Amino acid sequence: MKRENHRILVTAALPYANGKIHLGHLSGAYLPADIYVRYQRSCKRDVVFICGSDEHGVPITITADQEKTTPQAIVDRYHALNNKAFEKFGMSFDNYSRTSLPVHHEMAREFFLKLHGAGILKEKKEKQLYDDTANMFLPDRYVEGTCPVCHNIEARGDQCEKCGTFLNPLELINPRSKISGSTPTVRETVHLYFPLGEYQEKLEKFIQAADKRDGWKENVLQYCRGWFKDGLQDRAVTRDLQWGVKVPLTGFEHKVLYVWFDAVLGYISSTKEWAARSGQPDRWKEYWLDQSTKYVAFIGKDNVVFHCIVFPAMLMAWNEHSEQKYILPENVPANEFLNFEGQKFSKSRGWGIDVDEFLAEFPADALRYTLTMNLPESRDADFYWKDFQARTNNELADILGNFVNRTLTFVHRNFGGAVPPIDLLKPIDSQIIQQLQSTQTTAGQLFERYKFRDGTFEVMNLARAANKYFNDMFIHF
């Protein structure tokens, strides 16, 4: 680490509160973040770990429609379920918040009004699909149709899951409303847009400088280069929905902030909630407004554009028009995807396993270890039951567990359970002490560089060496 005595702010992507978290989510953002935070705490560094539920957006309203209930009921249920699953898994968040809380709505409206008041946001008329039967505009995921690229007949209005193409609902062939099933018409509406393209040059310089300081992952850099190559476009900040942060402007009373805009601000509002809960309501400023703070944002690869491009651009826009200057991420170590038994996790196909179901049968530490040793840090990886069994039995039990058990048994049998005083050290003693010290350094350096799989491998190698030391030293004791 280049700066020893500074604060560290760590965030993990806000999980969507319309379903339960699964093992892929853990491998993408949450376990790596937790390992990093626990390591930094072990080094006695000042670190705060922030997360929370993302509780706005179309997927939540669709789930509510399908279950014939309210969006609030949906987010209440899944926030509680996911929070409990995280706790059982051993996540050490300092604060796990919710974007439906008043503290977040206030934060999001403040940010929006700052950008609007500075003249940054652009008002545009646009055409949008409208359901005449339901009497409502249809945001992206309320529309399905045929993908114009691969001709998948079940493409969503925002993206085709089959070919990965990002779409505009108007691009769909034979669009149909998910509300009524009818064919939508096209109507004109008005929305406010954030001029993302105006920040492209600054964003490219920001990422280059951050990469030079802290060494960004190549996969993350490649995603960013791809977006820059295509050219950044204006992004709508408002949409025609009832569920979400209400737009605080006359004429926009029936619109809400687009979830991409308000969700990333959840990191700040969650930190504000944490500070208020700790009895020091202004303490959040020490982490978000002190330029010596190191901010690390852990995400999965599907969130790269929002955390490497969109959120930094929003912070830049605020900083241009305020005395309070928010820090930008020092690193965004995004992981690739974890598949389950060779296939992608799929809620609709019922393929995968949720965290709470897994932990009802097996201990968290065994899962944490197996996932860590197979993290998709640079490419997609797979979780297999046989691998979980083998690593639990052959590594955790036979290597680490065996060493701990035989050591404690030996001490209790021969020294009454107390560690005996150090006698004259033999060369073999000095050798294992040296390896212990070098492993601490090597593993620590790997954790600092977000190489958690390699760092854990070094620690397990130390356990292997300790077993050999025990055999060589005490076999004739």
Q: Which of 297, 265, 260 is nearest to 98 (CA)?
A: 265
CATH code of 391's domain: 1.10.730.10
Order across the sheet with 47-53: list the strands. 95-98, 47-53, 8-12, 294-298
Average the pLDDT over 232-242 and give the result. Answer: 93
The total number of structural domains in the chain stands at 3
The answer to whether residue 420 is domain-embedded is yes
Same-domain check for residues 264 and 188:
no
Quote the CA–CA distance of 91 and 51 in Å, as a whole number. Answer: 10
The answer to whether residue 421 is domain-embedded is yes
Same-domain check for residues 310 and 396:
no
- Residue 279 pLDDT greater than 70, yes or no: yes
Percentage of the chain beyond pLDDT 90 is 86
- Residue 238 pLDDT greater than 90, yes or no: yes
| pTM of the entire predicted model | 0.93
Quote the CA–CA distance of 289 and 307 in Å, as a whole number. Answer: 18
Same-domain check for residues 220 and 136:
no
pLDDT digits (tens, 9 = 90+) for 342-382: 998 877 677 889 999 999 999 999 999 999 999 999 999 99
Q: Are 196 and 309 in contact (CB under 8 A)?
A: yes
From residue 68, give the alpha-carbon distance in Å to each of 75, 179, 284.
14, 12, 39
Half-sphere exposure of 219 (CA within 13 A, CB side): 17
Buried b (16+ CB within 10 A) or exposed e, 160-178: beeeeeebebebbeebbbb
What single letter denotes the amino acid at residue 208?
Answer: Q
The pLDDT of residue 140 is: 84
What is the crossing angle of helices 427-448 and 31-42, to 10°? Answer: 120
Dihedral sign of CA atoms 184, 188, 190, 194 in order: positive
Same-domain check for residues 67 and 215:
yes
Same-domain check for residues 215 and 311:
yes
pLDDT digits (tens, 9 = 90+) for 30-72: 999 999 999 999 999 999 999 999 999 988 998 998 899 999 9
Answer with the one of 271, 306, 340 that is the final residue of a domain: 340
Answer with the one of 192, 214, 238 that is the final residue of a domain: 192
Quote the CA–CA distance of 383 and 342 in Å, as a whole number. Answer: 8
From residue 406, give the alpha-carbon distance in Å to each of 108, 153, 399, 442.
56, 61, 11, 26
Q: Say which range, 5-9, 192-196, 221-225, 468-472, has the weakest mean pLDDT.
A: 5-9
The answer to whether residue 290 is domain-embedded is yes
The pLDDT of residue 1 is: 41
- Residue 176 pLDDT greater than 50, yes or no: yes
Confidence of residue 475 (pLDDT cuts 50, 70, 90): low
Same-domain check for residues 67 and 183:
no
The answer to whether residue 346 is domain-embedded is no
- Residue 476 pLDDT greater than 90, yes or no: no
The pLDDT of residue 444 is: 97
Same-domain check for residues 209 and 291:
yes
Mean of pLDDT over the chain:
94
pLDDT digits (tens, 9 = 90+) for 445-460: 999 999 999 999 999 9
pLDDT digits (tens, 9 = 90+) for 129-141: 999 998 889 988 8
Half-sphere exposure of 35 (CA within 13 A, CB side): 29
CATH code of 147's domain: 2.170.220.10
Dihedral sign of CA atoms 251, 257, 258, 260 in order: positive
The answer to whether residue 299 is domain-embedded is yes
pLDDT digits (tens, 9 = 90+) for 132-165: 998 889 988 889 999 999 999 999 998 887 887 8
CATH code of 308's domain: 3.40.50.620
Domain span holding position 161: 122-192
pLDDT digits (tens, 9 = 90+) for 401-440: 999 999 999 999 989 999 988 888 999 999 999 999 999 9
The pLDDT of residue 153 is: 94
The pLDDT of residue 5 is: 45
pLDDT digits (tens, 9 = 90+) for 328-343: 999 999 999 999 999 9
Same-domain check for residues 151 and 175:
yes
Same-domain check for residues 329 and 219:
yes
pLDDT digits (tens, 9 = 90+) for 70-119: 999 999 999 999 999 999 999 999 999 999 999 999 999 999 999 999 99
Answer with the one of 319, 340, 361 that is the final residue of a domain: 340
